[in-house]
Structure 1
Amino acid sequence: MISVRELTKIYIPPGEKKAKRWLRRAASADERRPAADQVSFDVKRGELFVIMGLSGSGKSTVLRMLNRLVEPTSGAVEVDGTDLVSAAPRDLRRIRNSTINMVFQHFAIFPHRTVLENAAYGLQVRGVDVKERTARATAALERVGLGDWSHVLPSSLSGGMRQRVGLARALATDAEVLLMDEPYSALDPLIRRDMQDLLLELQEQLRKTIVFVTHDLNEAMRLGDRIMVMRDGKVIQVGTGSEILSCPADDYVADFVSDVDRSRVVTAETVMQEPLITVGPDHHPADALEKVANAEAHGAYVVTGDGTLVGAISVERLATATKSGVTSLQGLDLTEFKTVEEGTRLMDLMPLVGTCSVPLGVVDKSRRLIGVIPRAALLKALAHEGSTSHA
């Protein structure tokens, strides 16, 4: 949805009328240091992509170049195949009105307009008639939990509620891309958490393409499908939260993530192992028992030929079935197991590990068994807290 190539921004000092001449003159000077330095990345359609870095890293500059609120010095930006850098003013206005919307840190709502009028403002600018924009703004306010506040002025709202108005305005336009510039940094921790929950809930429903800027690592790890870490205008690393935690690109990233609670970021997919023992539904209990005993295991998963999970059976039940003369596993109680999906965070799966005769199973959305998490693997992953190895 978004493609960025070698995007660079060098701020020209006030009063310098000849920008190109100044750039040549300052070519070797420290003052020419870019705020964004040849930044390249892609954002998939429907992805929540986080740009993270400390103050001065260039993250907000990059975000604002995505809709040309800041003009790039050089480089390319494409949104849904449209070249924004070379877009004429009329085309740029159309793109801002229909394709891209922005949610600012300090709400950017009008104090003299009601909540409903603020939510409808983007549609008003677009020229949508009163009836339609009122209906769409009302629906957006309902989505963010402000349906009963439409006729109130912003002065009556808390900070979190004002940020909900800004989000509702973006949703009302039905723009495909949302740019969010540290939208929650001014909020109290509990309200901030609520807003993060709301964003994740809305993203699950709407699947917008979102570029979200933050300096808060925990926020980035919680929200981002992928994260881009910036420093001094440069991209240091792009990856999922788990990838960045497990394989930091350099000492800077390793130090940055050293205090992160891995259990809240690392997922089942990262720590799972190949299933040690699987058997088919047609397996004879005696053969399955021998297989389990040879591996000194406590049980086995039962899967079909394509890996679809049927169930699991303990060594005790296999022994009982063998003595009873049962000829296959079909019809036996195969319910003694627990599973999670691959994206489940460690903190959510910890209570499940070690509670059954087979290790905790990891399944994909088609219920295929793709891995298991033995208790030792979980403990090993948690023991890496603060001792991350460098890539």
Structure 2
Amino acid sequence: MTEPLIEVSGLYKVFGPKPASVIDRVKNGESKDKLLNDTGHTVGLKDINLKINKGEIFVIMGLSGSGKSTLIRHFNRLIDPTLGKILVEGIDVMKLSVNELVTFRRHKMSMVFQRFGLLPHRSVVDNVAYGLEIQGMSKTDRIAKATEWLETVGLKGYENQYPAQLSGGQQQRVGLARALSTDAEILLMDEAFSALDPLIRSEMQDQLISLQEKLHKTIIFITHDLDEALRLGDRIVILKDGELVQQGSPDQILLHPADEYVEAFVKDVNRARALTVETVMQPPAYRITAKTIEEALVEMKRIKQDYAYNVTEEGYQGVVTKESLLNAAKTDASQSLEDDIYEEVPVISAGSAIEEVLPDTMSCDYSLPVVDEDGNLQGELERSAVAEIFTDTNEAKTASKEDLTVQPVVDKAS
């Protein structure tokens, strides 16, 4: 199994004059409010354990005061923990010397801030090149590289402008280009899009997704917005009062909230828009590989359903029914399966949102075939499976665990 790029274990952060003196009380479960009233210390994080894989967008979310910004600042040691371990590629960052930590921050991690963090007296291209300047790159090389990244984020022609001359969305693009230009493997994004207008925010999310498809960075993204988390995250962690309450894939978070706190987050989410076909599709139940009507009828007799997916070496061909095969056999059973023998059934892709395929799912008499770009049959989307995602969470809780066909793997803090 591939080792995680970042591993956090037993992480505690207590703010106050003598944090070590109260850590046992935190471990024993004393409430955050009682500890503050009794000792003047504030619990920032409590027993955080997580693993972040290389090349994923890992979203940390929670309400204000949940500890998400405190947590992200531990990765590059802008904040040191009271207790716990942080490993990056197996290296304990707490053991780095001052010089090693400086090098680590310059080359391993870059950060994109909520309020852009641009230098107002520097031009756009000089802002992007700032991290490269810190790394010691020559002016010619860093300007050339900064110019390339500005073009990548859609700001070609703005090199000599100043931050004050740009819109909020453009300023955030400059911040993103600056973070990417250093070639750091890990990108820390702390509420990076939350100060933007909704339309610009959506555009920045699109751009981040597009860039990630090309760059495969490891991105740790902080947000308080569940829609944003579901859209961007490969995996999501939800914090409450400094504790990790649930972590899992977006569909696990959405369909199987760990407690009432998470349930309150997800209750108003448009599930059809947030979930993809891949989330609920099943392996194709019945397929035949025949090339002639006669062969198809032989294979159809072995299955219990009155239709099947025809798949050959060339990939998915279409949906055939027993009735259409029997009618065609009356004329010539030896003839090849042609287009006119197949039912008119829409083909869908695994990455499509449920919302996009909902009309076809509800109107078609057959489960929709899920086919990839190469024409391979990946699965089928049943109408009943789509209907289940709209079932109220509270109703789902009444079903016993034994009744669930598939149990999601959801890590929950103890």
Task: Please confirm whether the aligned pair reaches a TM-score higher than 0.5, indicating the same fold.
Answer: yes
Contact 2:58–2:235, Cα closer than 8 Å, also in 1: yes
Question: RMSD of the TM alignment (CA)?
Answer: 2.7
Give the CA deviation at 1:290: 4.5
| 1:349 matches 2:354 | no
Counterpart in 1 of 2:296?
A: 285
1:63-107 superposed Cα distances (whole Å, 9 cap, x missing partner): 000101111111111222222111111111111111100000000
**Would the alpha carbon gap of residues 23 and 382 (structure 1) be closer, same or farther in structure 2, given more than 3 Å must change?**
closer
Output the CA distance in 1 between the equivalents of 2:126 and 2:218: 25
1:6 counterpart (7, 10, 14): 10
Contact 2:288–2:300, Cα closer than 8 Å, also in 1: no
Give the CA deviation at 1:337: 3.9
Give the CA deviation at 1:351: 3.8
| 1:325 matches 2:332 | yes
Output the CA distance in 1 between the equivalents of 2:158 and 2:77: 33
Give the CA deviation at 1:118: 0.2
Gaps of 5+ in 2: 402-414
Counterpart in 2 of 1:53?
A: 62
Output the CA distance in 2 between the equivalents of 1:206 and 1:381: 33
Output the CA distance in 2 between the equivalents of 1:19 and 1:231: 20
Counterpart in 2 of 1:166?
A: 175
1:30 counterpart (26, 35, 59): 35
1:109 counterpart (89, 106, 118): 118
Give the CA deviation at 1:350: 1.8
Contact 2:59–2:222, Cα closer than 8 Å, also in 1: yes
SS in 2 for 1:193: helix
SS in 1 for 2:94: coil
Output the CA distance in 2 between the equivalents of 1:385 and 1:115: 48
Contact 1:285–1:326, Cα closer than 8 Å, also in 2: no
Output the CA distance in 2 between the equivalents of 1:52 and 1:227: 7
SS in 1 for 2:157: helix
| Greater displacement, 256-265 / 361-370 | 361-370
The aligned runs of 1:1-391 (5 Å cut-off) are: 1-12=5-16, 16=17, 20=20, 30-31=35-36, 32-282=41-291, 284-288=295-299, 290=301, 295=305, 297=306, 299-304=307-312, 309-315=316-322, 317-327=324-334, 336-353=344-361, 358-363=366-371, 367-384=375-392, 389=397
1:147-189 superposed Cα distances (whole Å, 9 cap, x missing partner): 1101001010111111110000011111110000001111111
**Would the alpha carbon gap of residues 364 and 84 (structure 1) be closer, same or farther in structure 2, given more than 3 Å must change?**
farther
**Would the alpha carbon gap of residues 78 and 329 (structure 1) be closer, same or farther in structure 2, given more than 3 Å must change?**
farther
1:323-369 superposed Cα distances (whole Å, 9 cap, x missing partner): 23233755565584433343432112224325666421124677543
**Would the alpha carbon gap of residues 41 and 340 (structure 1) be closer, same or farther in structure 2, given more than 3 Å must change?**
farther
Give the CA deviation at 1:388: 5.3
**Would the alpha carbon gap of residues 53 and 290 (structure 1) be closer, same or farther in structure 2, given more than 3 Å must change?**
same
Output the CA distance in 2 between the equivalents of 1:272 and 1:19: 49
Contact 1:227–1:241, Cα closer than 8 Å, also in 2: yes
Output the CA distance in 2 between the equivalents of 1:365 and 1:136: 35
**Would the alpha carbon gap of residues 113 and 355 (structure 1) be closer, same or farther in structure 2, given more than 3 Å must change?**
same
**Would the alpha carbon gap of residues 358 and 287 (structure 1) be closer, same or farther in structure 2, given more than 3 Å must change?**
farther
SS in 2 for 1:342: coil
Contact 1:11–1:35, Cα closer than 8 Å, also in 2: yes
Give the CA deviation at 1:49: 0.6
Output the CA distance in 1 between the equivalents of 2:333 and 2:348: 31
| Greater displacement, 77-86 / 19-28 | 19-28
Contact 1:180–1:211, Cα closer than 8 Å, also in 2: yes
SS in 2 for 1:147: coil
Output the CA distance in 1 between the equivalents of 2:395 and 2:145: 50
Give the CA deviation at 1:122: 0.4
Counterpart in 1 of 2:411?
A: none
Counterpart in 1 of 2:412?
A: none
Output the CA distance in 2 between the equivalents of 1:364 and 1:7: 42
Output the CA distance in 2 between the equivalents of 1:140 and 1:90: 28
**Would the alpha carbon gap of residues 335 and 203 (structure 1) be closer, same or farther in structure 2, given more than 3 Å must change?**
farther
What letter is aligned with 1:262? Answer: R
Gaps of 5+ in 1: none
Contact 2:8–2:85, Cα closer than 8 Å, also in 1: yes
Contact 1:246–1:389, Cα closer than 8 Å, also in 2: no
Count residues with an aligned counterpart: 383
Contact 1:285–1:322, Cα closer than 8 Å, also in 2: no
What letter is aligned with 1:286? Answer: L
Give the CA deviation at 1:140: 0.7
